[in-house]
């Protein structure tokens, strides 16, 4: 099992593209492997013949470096079998035989019969469609081109659009963010990918002082149509400097629009809206959700407006408000509540600035109780702001205090057990639900 990401400890074999006896050349795709981040294609590193496949399709929890097949290297003078366990983490782009690319078919050739898209696929498709529609749209960031994205979000884009519109940058967030801002002022529509939003700290002056404030400071004469996107928040054992949730930071800044989707459909619809918006947009993703089955969905190919929350589940006993990966935890908590006959109304904010206050207030008028859920720090969280707003506007409808479920007030630990303790868990959300309905 090849190590295809820094945090990968085990993987699953989704599909074999070869059978015993097949001859392969270096660079041929031999298997589709699911990592902790995405589904990736694994290539042969040399010419040879597949002797034996050791794990069937669908086998999961295969430890890294465990042999998955036997390979006969034609260039080995002894002609002995070798195990396939490690190799290149370069990936071939899926290419359609049809030169006309419609509805992202070039990216789904192998999965042409599937109707469910992952978040990773939906973001990639949104980028491709907008780049086809508008020649002013271009993508830049670290490893977005030749490597096809640190999480393979930009897979195939370099082949289709070329190096002038899919641009690998040096490792200098402050520099390429400034370059993108200048391009936006000049009438282009850059999409800036940060390998993680933790690295955006290097570019905070450009994001806040240059992009967010220029429309106001120019008296409405100069727009900055730019999108900043990439993974935000905790991943899996990447420690304190790679795990911070910046949603509350950016949502506090006038001049920025901030969204953080949960589902694949919302990711695509919101990203297309972000690229078309004339203002700077912070598009926050979550590394864990890129290939998560609970976030995968059908795509309706509709633009999703900012400032409009989505009621995922209707209920009458308590309102649960969340966004991003918090929705995943909330859905698990709802299952626990259902076992106790507690009816939960679940709201996915999707848009953090602007916020959909109306949907929130109307839900609380019905349920009379409210809990917010997020992975960010408890101090100055999105939930803190919502609590204050709810108190000011619908206090008379509340039958219990508004509770905020968040991550713990500590830098993110590296150790797995401590990391789990620092993050919000469904059981903690369920406990809050019991508390506000007075069942604890």
Show the CA angle centred on residue 375, arms to residues 372 and 379, nearest 5°.
Answer: 75
Summarize pLDDT for 205-232 with one digit per residue, the tens: 999 999 999 999 999 999 999 999 999 9
CA–CA dist 365, 316 (Å, integer): 10
Does residue 407 carry a pLDDT above 80?
yes
CA–CA dist 348, 346 (Å, integer): 7
Q: What was the pLDDT predicted at 250?
A: 97
What Rg value do the Cα atoms of the chain yield, rounded? 23
Query: Does the annotation count 345 as an active-site position?
Result: no
- Mean of per-residue pLDDT scores for the chain: 88
| Choice among 96-105, 228-237, 240-249 with the minimum mean pLDDT | 96-105
Query: In the chain, how many H helices and how many E strands?
Result: 12, 20
Q: Which residues are registered as beta bridge partners of 297?
A: 117
Nearest Cα neighbor of 345 from 357, 358, 330, 329 is 330
Q: Is the dihedral of CA 384, 385, 387, 392 positive or negative?
A: positive
CA–CA dist 75, 231 (Å, integer): 42
DSSP SS3 for 335: helix
Query: Does the annotation count 111 as an active-site position?
Result: no
Nearest Cα neighbor of 185 from 225, 129, 239 is 225
Q: What was the pLDDT predicted at 233?
A: 93
Summarize pLDDT for 11-63 with one digit per residue, the tens: 889 889 999 999 988 778 888 888 766 677 788 877 889 999 999 988 988 98
Helical axes 382-394 vs 357-367, angle rounded to 10°: 60
Share of the chain above pLDDT 70, in %: 88
Which is the catalytic residue, given 43, 242, 329, 375? 242
CA–CA dist 382, 372 (Å, integer): 8
Q: What pTM does this model have?
A: 0.79
Are 143 and 194 in contact by the 8 Å Cβ rule? The answer is no
Does residue 401 carry a pLDDT above 90?
yes
Q: Which domains does the chain have, with CATH numbers?
A: 10-84 (2.40.50.100), 105-289 (3.40.50.970), 310-436 (3.40.50.920)
Q: Which residues are registered as beta bridge partners of 259?
A: 283, 351
Count Cα atoms within 13 angstroms, Cβ side, for 186: 10
Burial label for 226, CB within 10 Å (0-12, 13-18, 19+), is buried
Which is the catalytic residue, given 173, 193, 287, 345? 173
Given the DSSP bridges, would you call strands 370-373 and 403-405 parallel, antiparallel or unpaired? parallel
Does residue 238 carry a pLDDT above 70?
yes
DSSP SS3 for 264: helix
Range from 33-42, 107-116, 266-275 that averages highest in pLDDT: 266-275
């Amino acid at each position: 099992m090849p190590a295809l990401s820094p945090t990968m400890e085990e993987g699953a074999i989704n599909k074999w593209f070869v059978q015993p006896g097949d001859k392969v050349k270096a660079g041929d795709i031999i298997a589709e492997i699911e990592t902790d981040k995405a589904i990736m294609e694994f290539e042969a590193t040399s010419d040879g013949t597949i002797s034996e496949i050791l794990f069937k399709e669908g086998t999961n929890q295969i430890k890294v470096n465990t042999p998955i097949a036997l390979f006969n290297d034609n260039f080995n003078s002894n002609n002995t079998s070798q195990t396939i366990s490690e190799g290149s983490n370069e990936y071939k782009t899926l290419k359609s035989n049809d030169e006309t690319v419609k509805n992202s078919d070039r990216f789904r050739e192998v999965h042409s019969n599937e109707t469910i898209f992952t978040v990773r696929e939906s973001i990639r498709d949104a980028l491709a469609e907008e780049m086809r529609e508008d020649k002013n749209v271009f993508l830049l960031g670290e490893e977005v081109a030749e490597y096809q994205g640190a999480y393979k979000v930009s897979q195939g884009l370099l082949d289709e659009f070329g190096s002038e519109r899919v641009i690998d940058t040096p490792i200098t967030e402050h520099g390429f963010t400034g370059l993108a801002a200048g391009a936006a002022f000049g009438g282009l529509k850059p999409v800036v990918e940060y390998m993680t939003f933790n690295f955006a700290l290097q570019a905070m002056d450009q994001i806040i002082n240059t992009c967010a404030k220029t429309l106001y400071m120019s008296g409405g004469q100069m727009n900055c149509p730019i999108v900043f996107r990439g993974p935000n928040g905790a991943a899996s054992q990447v420690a304190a400097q790679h795990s911070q949730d910046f949603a509350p930071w950016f949502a506090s800044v006038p001049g920025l629009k901030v969204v953080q989707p949960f589902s694949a459909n919302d990711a695509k619809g919101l990203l297309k809206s972000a690229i078309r918006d004339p203002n700077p947009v912070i598009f926050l993703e979550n590394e864990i959700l890129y290939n998560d089955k609970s976030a995968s969905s059908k795509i309706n190919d509709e633009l999703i407006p900012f400032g409009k929350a989505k009621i995922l589940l209707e209920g009458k006993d308590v309102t649960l408000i969340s966004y991003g990966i918090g929705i995943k935890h909330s859905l698990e908590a709802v299952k626990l509540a259902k076992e106790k006959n507690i009816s939960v109304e679940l709201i996915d904010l999707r848009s953090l600035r602007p916020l959909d206050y109306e949907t929130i207030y109307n839900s609380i008028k019905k349920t009379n109780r409210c809990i917010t859920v997020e992975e960010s720090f408890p101090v100055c969280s999105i939930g803190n702001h919502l609590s204050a707003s709810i108190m000011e506007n619908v206090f008379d409808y509340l039958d219990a205090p508004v509770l905020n479920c968040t991550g713990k007030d500590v830098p993110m630990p590296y150790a797995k057990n401590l990391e789990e303790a620092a993050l919000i868990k469904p059981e903690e959300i369920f406990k809050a639900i019991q508390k506000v309905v007075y069942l604890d």
